[in-house]
Amino acid sequence: MPLLSVEHVTRRFGGVVAVDDVSLGVESGQIAGLIGPNGAGKTTLFNLITRLYRPDSGEIAFDGESLLRTPPHRIVRRGIARTFQNVELFPSMTVLENVLVGSHGRGGRSARELLGELGLDAVVHRRAAGLAFGTMKRLELARALASSPRLLLLDEPAAGLSHEEVEELGALIRRIRASFDLTVLLVEHHMNLVMGVADRVHVLDFGRKLAEGSPAEVQRNPAVIEAYLGSERPQHAPA
């Protein structure tokens, strides 16, 4: 049984069907990629899983139990953490304080240990607001890990990072999967990153599930290539 299972989930906003009858499963321990052109419904799916939005229909289950009866503020306690497409930190708090507020009383590593593992030792007492962008993204990841999640949802963690930072991020995602015993669902436009770290890739287009497979299978799928080449972001065509 998959750790996360999304079954026939639909969510509309007015006339837009942001997520249209999507089904996917993420096996425990997997790094799963979720890709698709702009507006495909990737972030909406994250917002449905974390219960910020309610599906119009369909079922979402985590560890065999429906999430739809779990209120949004209990999602972290169920073991699901996320980072946001637009970095969301507490700017006036220090790095350490940002991680402490992320812990939600769930056990696991101490905040200091976590910051060490993510290479943030040197900035522990700096205010979040003054950090370099790449450091902020890493801090957001540390904060998500502070709740000792079983499932980590990453929404474009590579966006805005330098080439070197993206390479480090790939290695970091693999390392934290192993050392935190995590399952990861990764939304990314950065194809080299997704194809390099994902065990399985799910593709959305206009809210619908377009394809699913290994990175190699997805990259040579004509429908996937067409969806990217037909979009306004050909630079994000699978490499």
Which 38-67 residues touch ligand ATP, going by CB under 6 A?
A: 38-44
Residue from the set 5, 30, 43, 148 that interacts with Mg ion by CB under 5 A: 43
Binding site partner of 16, from ligand ATP, Mg ion, none, Cβ cut-off 5-8 A by kind: ligand ATP
Answer for which of 7, 10, 16, 23 binds ligand ATP (CB under 6 A) is: 16
Binding partner of 70, given Mg ion, ligand ATP, none, CB within 5-8 angstroms per partner class: none
Query: CB of residue 117 vs Mg ion: minimum separation in angstroms?
Result: 27
* Residue that the structure tokens 């449905």 belong to: 48
Which DSSP helix (H) or strand (E) runs through 202?
strand 200-205
Chain positions 193 to 232 lying near Mg ion, rule: CB under 5 A, are none
Instruction: Report, in angstroms and rounded to the nearest whole number, the Rg of the chain calculated over CA atoms.
Output: 17
Task: Considering the complex, state which of residue 16 and residue 124 has its C-beta at the smaller distance from ligand ATP.
Answer: 16
Q: State the SS3 of 40-74.
A: CCHHHHHHHHCCCCCCCEEEEEECCEECCCCCHHH
Tell me which of ligand ATP, Mg ion, none is bound by residue 44, counting a contact when its beta carbon lies within the kind-specific cut-off of 5 to 8 angstroms. Answer: ligand ATP
Instruction: Report whether 44 contacts 53 (CB < 8 A).
Output: yes
Strands 16-26 and 4-13: antiparallel
Q: Which does 38 bind (CB under 5 to 8 A by kind): ligand ATP, Mg ion, none?
A: ligand ATP
Q: Name the residue among 26, 44, 236 with its Cα closest to residue 149.
A: 26
Helices 133-145 and 95-102: crossing angle in degrees, nearest 10, is 30
What residues pair up with 109 in beta bridges, in sequence order?
none
Residue nearest to Mg ion according to CB distances in the complex: 43
- Give the distance, in angstroms, between the CA of residue 144 and the centroid of all CA atoms in the same chain: 10
Helices 163-180 and 133-145 cross at an angle (nearest 10°) of: 10
Residues 160-179 binding ligand ATP (CB under 6 A) are none
30 binds Mg ion (CB under 5 A): no
Residues 70-89 binding ligand ATP (CB under 6 A) are 85
Q: Can you read off the two tokens belonging to residue 157?
A: 């963690």
Site size for ligand ATP (CB under 6 A): 12
Asked if 36 touches ligand ATP (CB under 6 A), the answer is: yes
DSSP element (H, E) containing 212: strand 208-213
Q: Using CB distances below 5 to 8 A depending on partner kind, what does residue 133 bind out of Mg ion, ligand ATP, none?
A: none
41 binds, among ligand ATP, Mg ion, none (CB under 5 to 8 A by kind): ligand ATP
Q: Which of 180, 181, 223 is nearest to 36 (CA)?
A: 223
Residue 103 interacting with Mg ion (CB under 5 A): no
Binding site for ligand ATP (CB under 6 A): 13, 16, 18, 36, 38-44, 85
Binding site for Mg ion (CB under 5 A): 42-43, 85
